[in-house]
Amino acid sequence: MIHNIRWRIALPYIVLVILVLAALAAYLSEFVRGLYIADLQAQLSSEARLAADALAEPLGRGAPPDELAALAKEWARQLEARVTIIASDGRVLGDSHENWALMDNHLMRPEVQQALAQGLGTSTRFSHTVGYDMMYAAVPVVVRGQVAGIARVARPLRQVEIHIARLRQSILLAAAAASVLAGLLALLIAERTVRPIRRLTRDALRLAEGNLDVSILPTTRDEIADLARAFNMMASQLKEKMTALSEEKVRLADVLEHMADGVMIADGEGRVQLINPSAASLLGAASDTVGRPLAQVLRHHRLIELWRESIASGAEMEGTVELYRQNALLRVVVTPFRERGTEGSLIMLQDLTHVRRLETVRRDFISNVSHELRTPLASLKALVETLRDSASDDPQAARRFLDRMDAELDALIQMVRELLDLSRIESGQAPLSFAPTSVEQILLPPVERLRPQAERANLSLSVQFPPDIPAVKADLEAMHQVLMNLLHNAIKFTPPGGEIIVEAQAKGREVVVSVRDTGVGIAPDDLPRIFERFYKADRSRSGGGTGLGLAIAKHIVQAHGGRIWAESEQGKGSTFYFTLAVHDISDNTTLTGR
C-alpha cells in the first residue's frame, strides 16, 4: 500500500483530518464542560442566596429542627436539588435527602468555610453521603448582623457529565464521518492524479514492447500533460528513427541479397554473423550457416589463413584463391573491424571464374588461329622456296607447285572467311532476317549443290520430309550455310559406299532437321566438344577443315532460338540435329535478329 502513489497521497490527509478532529473534540468537550459547570455554579449560588434570604426569618425566631427539615425538603422539591441547613457552628439543622440528625459537623466543609469567609462558597467533590460527584454552593444566613446559619444547595454533576459525554460522542461521530469523507476525497484526488501516470506507464510499456504507434492524448493542463506531450514526442521520434533504420536495413539486405560479390561478417570469436546468397553459393555453404564457426564455412585453408592473418595483424588482407571443389577462382579481401567494443571481420569474395574463362578463351583463340595459319603459311613458304630454287627449270613441276600454292591459299581464304563469319555472327554484325520459309526451300538447294561432291565420293544422298510439314521461321541464307557445313562434314567423314540422309519432321511447335551419315562416327569424349571453335576430333581425317564449321552452325541455330546437338556411335555413323520454330500464322511480322 505504501508503494502505491494513491495511498501515499491519501493517507497523510486522512491522518491529518483525524488528528485535527480529535484535538477539536477534546478541546470542545473541555470547553463545553467548563461552560456547563460555570452555569451550574451560578445557578446553585443564586439558589443558595434565595434559600439564605428565606431562612433569615425562621432562624431569627429559633424555629425547631423539624420545621427546618420540612422547609429543606420543600425547597429541595421545588429546586430539584439537595438543600442543607447548617448552624453557624457547623451542626446540620436540616437536610432534604438524609437523616440530618445523624449527619456529622459540616463546619470544615470547604464551601462552608469559603461562605463564612467570603459570603459565597462553592465546591465540587465526591459526596460520601450520596455516593457521587456533587457541586455545592453555600451562603451564610445573616440575622441582625450576625451569622445565624448557612444555606447550602447541591446538585449532582452526573447530569453535566452525561451532557458532556453526549456532546463528545456527537463530535466523535462527526469526526469519524469527516475522516471518511476526507479519505474518500483524498483517494479521489489521488486517483485522478495517478490515472494519467498509470496510462503513461501502460503506453510506455507498449512502446517498450515494440508498438510504435502509441500516442497519448493529454487530458489535463498540468505537468502530467507536459509529460504526455514529451512522451508523444519521444514516441514519434523513436518511430521515425526506427522506420528510417528498418528502411535502411531492408535496402542494405536487398543490396546484399542481390549483389554478385559474396559478403560475410564474422564476429570476434570467428562465428558467422551474416552471409549473403552469393557468398553461400561461391563457398558451396548450406543456408543455415549463421552462427557456425567461420573455419567450417570457408572450408579452404588459404581462406582461413587470410582471415587469421588479418586478425593477427589487424590489417586488410587480400588474395586470390582457387577453389577446386567448385572449380572457381576467388579474389578475397578480409577487413578486420573494431567498432564500439565489437570486433569482427568483413570478408568480401569476388568471383573471377568468368574473367579467367574469358581470358582462357581469348588466349586459346589466338593460339588456335596462329596455329591454324602456321601450317598453310609454312607450306606456302616451302613451295615458294622450292619454286624459286629449282622448279623454274621445269615448267611442269612449277605448274604443280603453283596449283598446290593455289589450294593452300584457297584453304587460307576459306578459313579467314569462316573466321569473319563467325565473329560477325557472334558480335551481332550479321543481321538475320526471319521469314516464313518452307522446309523444302531450306533443305533442297544445299543438297543439290553438294550432290556432285557426294557422288564423286561414291555416297548416296537423299532427302526425306512429309509433304504437309509446316513452314518455319528462318533466315534462308543462314540456314543454307548450316546445312552446307553439316553436309560437308558428313561427306568428309563417310567412307565411299556410305549413305547420307537429310530428314525433317514436325514435333509440336518445332521442326527437327537431321543429317545422318554412315561414317566414322565421333568418340564419346569428343562429342561434347565438337561445337567449340577450332575443335577437330580427328585431325588426320578432317584434312583441310578449320574446325569452325560446327561453331558457325551452332551460333546460327541459336540465333534462331533453336538447339543443335549430335548423336554418334563410333564406326557406325553420326546424326546431327537442329530445331527451328514453326512459323506462327498469326504472326505476320517479319522478325529481324542476329
CB of 462 to ligand ADP, least distance (A): 16
SS3 assignment for 171-228: HHHHHHHHHHHHHHHHHHHHHHHHHHHHHHHHHHHHHHCCCCCCCCCCCCCCHHHHHH
Q: Give whichever of 504 and 522 is closer to ligand ADP, judged by the CB atom.
A: 522
CB of 307 to ligand ADP, least distance (A): 47
Judge whether 90 and 113 are in contact, CB under 8 Å: no
Interaction pattern, residues 462-491, with ligand ADP; x per rule: CB under 6 A: -----------------------x---xx-
CB of 497 to ligand ADP, least distance (A): 16
CB of 416 to ligand ADP, least distance (A): 14
* DSSP classification of residue 583: P
Q: Give whichever of 344 and 545 is closer to ligand ADP, judged by the CB atom.
A: 545
Residue partners of 562: CB distance under 8 A and separation at least 6: 510, 578, 579, 580, 581
425 scored as a contact of ligand ADP (CB under 6 A): no
Rounded to an integer, what distance in angstroms lies between the CA atom of residue 126 and that of residue 130? 9
Closest by alpha carbon to 114, among 127, 124, 126, 129? 124
Question: How is 432-495 classified by DSSP, letter by letter?
Answer: EE-EEE-HHHHHHHHHHHHHHHHHHTT-EEEEE--TTPPPEEE-HHHHHHHHHHHHHHHHHTS-
CB of 333 to ligand ADP, least distance (A): 42
CB of 461 to ligand ADP, least distance (A): 13
Judge whether 553 and 564 are in contact, CB under 8 Å: yes
Closest by alpha carbon to 349, among 259, 288, 270, 272? 259
Task: List the end-to-end C-alpha distance of the chain, in Å, as a whole number.
Answer: 88
522 scored as a contact of ligand ADP (CB under 6 A): yes
41 scored as a contact of ligand ADP (CB under 6 A): no
How many residues touch ligand ADP under the rule CB under 6 A: the total is 23
Q: Give whichever of 284 and 543 is closer to ligand ADP, judged by the CB atom.
A: 543
- The amino acid present at 3, given as its one-letter code, is H
Judge whether 475 and 560 are in contact, CB under 8 Å: yes
Q: Which three cell numbers stand for residue 480?
A: 543454307
CB of 483 to ligand ADP, least distance (A): 12
Within 502-521, the residues that bind ligand ADP by CB under 6 A are: 517, 519-521
Q: Give whichever of 301 and 456 is closer to ligand ADP, judged by the CB atom.
A: 456
Judge whether 434 and 581 are in contact, CB under 8 Å: no
Q: Give whichever of 276 and 546 is closer to ligand ADP, judged by the CB atom.
A: 546
278 scored as a contact of ligand ADP (CB under 6 A): no
Within 530-549, the residues that bind ligand ADP by CB under 6 A are: 530, 535-538, 542, 545-549
CB of 454 to ligand ADP, least distance (A): 13
Q: Which of 401, 434, 465, 493 binds ligand ADP (CB under 6 A)?
A: 493
Within 556-585, the residues that bind ligand ADP by CB under 6 A are: 574
Judge whether 193 and 5 are in contact, CB under 8 Å: yes
List interacting residues with ligand ADP (CB under 6 A): 485, 489-490, 493, 517, 519-522, 530, 535-538, 542, 545-551, 574
